[in-house]
Amino acid sequence: MNELISIIIPVKNGHKYIREAVAGIRKQNMDVEIIVVDDGSDDDTANIAGELGCKVVRHEVNKGPVVAKNSGLKAATGSFVMFHDHDDIMRDGALQTLYNSFDENTDAVEAKVVDFYSPELTEAERRQSVIKTEPFYGLFTGAILIRKSAFDKIGLFPENMRAGEMLDWEHKMKQNGLTIKKIDLVSTDRRIHTTNFGKTDQQTEYKDYAAVLRARLMKK
C-alpha cells in the first residue's frame, strides 16, 4: 500500500464538475484523502463534497485560490500532496505512476496535462478559447505530486497573490536545493470552459506572474 496522499481541491461554486473530478481520483485505487476547500461558494459544492466522502474545509467568504491551497495544506495529513482543480479529470493509473517515480532524492514529480473543451461549450465559445492540442508540461494542478516535507522547508504559498503561486513554489524549490523530476506521462485532462479562473481573473493572474518574475530578477 502507498503512503497516504492528500489531494487538495480548492474550489468556488464547483457543483457542475466536482463529481467528475472526485470520481477520477477515486478510480486511482490509491490511499488518498480528498480535501475540498470550499472558498466562499454560494452553491451546494460543500454538500456535494461531503456526500462524496471528502474532508471539507470551508471559507465563509472568498479568499482566493492561493489561501485555499494553504488551508488545504494545513488540513492535510498525508506524506504527499497534490493540488487538483475541481473541473479537471485525472487519468486512470496516473497517481500510481507519479508515486512510483519517486526515489529518496526526489521531492516532487511533474507530469503533463492535455487541454479539452468541456462538452457543454458551443462552437462560438470554443472559438474564443484556443487550446493546445498536444500534451504539455506546466505547473498545473493534477500534474505534480509533492512530498509534504518540502513545504516544511520552503513554507506555505505567499498569500499576497491570487495567482502565480506555483511559479513562486518552483523557484523556492530550486533555491533550497529540492528536486523536481519530470516524467513523460499525461496525468490529467485539463477542462477548458467559460469560467476558468484564468479567464475570470486574468488581469490579477498576469499581475502576479509579473511580480514573481520581477522578484526572481532582483535576486539574481
Q: Which three cell numbers stand for residue 5?
A: 496522499
Compute CA 2 distance to the chain's CA centroid, rounded to the nearest angstrom.
21
Q: Identity (one letter) of the amino acid at 168?
A: D
**Residue 69 dihedral angles phi and psi, to the nearest 5°:** -60, -45
Is 99 in a helix, a strand, or coil? helix
Q: Which pLDDT tens digit goes with each residue over 120-137? A: 998 888 888 878 889 999
Which pTM does this prediction carry? 0.88
| CATH ID of 5-219, from 3.40.50.10470, 3.90.550.10, 3.30.9.90, 1.10.10.410 | 3.90.550.10
Distance of alpha carbon 190 from alpha carbon 89, whole angstroms: 7
Compute CA 93 distance to the chain's CA centroid, rounded to the nearest angstrom.
18
Q: Which pLDDT tens digit goes with each residue over 46-93? A: 999 999 999 999 999 999 999 999 999 999 999 999 999 999 999 999
